[in-house]
Amino acid sequence: MTGERQSKRVRSEPGHDVKHLPPMSSRVIARRASAILVYSLLLISLQIFLMVVAVEGLLVGKPGLARAAAVMSVVLFGSMLAMRWFVGDD
């Protein structure tokens, strides 16, 4: 699989030459990984906050607040899974 890391094939229209992307430098890969890590930590901390709000809503007796916070937490978790799927482990 090292050949896939070196260059990626780009789809082209029929009759045209297939172009290759230049290999990504280690600096670009490190910056991308750092950006994904920062974004993930931000989303995880927001999800923890939403879960705390949901539990407090249940304890105080406000089911609407708890339901809204729980739904937002599930949506946030789904967006993290989608980001993980779209970005992948190149």
Token pair for 2: 């090292």
pLDDT at residue 87, rounded to an integer:
76
Taking the model in full, what pTM does it have? 0.61
Report the mean per-residue pLDDT for the chain.
Answer: 78
pLDDT at residue 37, rounded to an integer:
85
Between CA 43 and CA 81 the distance in angstroms is: 11
Phi, psi of 20 (to 5 degrees): -115, 140
Query: Residue 42: what residue type?
Result: L
The residue with tokens 């931000």 is: 42
pLDDT at residue 3, rounded to an integer:
47
How confident is the model over 7-49, as pLDDT tens digits?
Answer: 455 555 565 555 666 677 777 777 877 888 888 899 889 999 9
Closest CA relative to residue 48, chosen from 72, 67, 65, 68: 72
Q: Does residue 56 register a pLDDT over 70? A: yes
